[in-house]
């Protein structure tokens, strides 16, 4: 981990809304990184 984490805030009306927004934001705002070791070395992962 590079240590440059940034806070991300979500306002939701209920838990399912929060879950949907969180997954959407991970795919939209998150960054991709290459897996060097682990289950699938060489694959690309969303982070």
Across the range 22-30, mean pLDDT stands at 87
Asked whether residue 42 carries a pLDDT value surpassing 70, the answer given is: no
> Which element (helix H / strand E) includes 44?
strand 44-46
- pLDDT for residue 8: 85
Percent of the chain scoring above 90 in pLDDT: 34
pTM above 0.75, yes or no: no
The continuous run of DSSP H or E covering 33 comes out as strand 32-34
């Amino acid at each position: 981990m590079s240590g440059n984490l940034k806070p991300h805030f979500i306002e939701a009306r209920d838990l399912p809304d929060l879950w949907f927004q969180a997954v959407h934001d991970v795919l939209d705002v998150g960054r991709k990184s290459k897996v060097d070791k682990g289950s699938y070395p060489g694959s690309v992962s969303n982070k």
